[in-house]
């Protein structure tokens, strides 16, 4: 049970970080040009 919860948490964090990085990259690129 704990292992499943842990892996699910890791996947959520990875997706969240990817989204944040993409949004930050996009806004940064937009403000530059």
- What does pTM read for this prediction? 0.60
Helix (H, G, I), strand (E, B) or coil at 27: helix
Q: Quick one: average pLDDT of 2-28?
A: 93
At 15, is the pLDDT very low, low, confident or very high (cuts 50, 70, 90)? very high
C-alpha atoms less than 13 angstroms from C-alpha of 17 in its C-beta half-sphere: 6
Report whether pLDDT(33) > 60. Answer: no
pLDDT at 2: 72
Q: Quick one: average pLDDT of 15-23?
A: 97
Report whether pLDDT(32) > 70. Answer: no
Q: What ranges do the domains of the chain cover?
A: 1-27
Q: According to DSSP H, which parts of 1-33 are helical?
A: 2-32
């Amino acid at each position: 049970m704990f292992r499943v919860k842990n892996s699910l948490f890791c996947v959520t964090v990875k997706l969240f970080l990817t989204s944040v990085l993409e949004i930050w990259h996009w806004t940064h690129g937009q403000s530059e040009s």
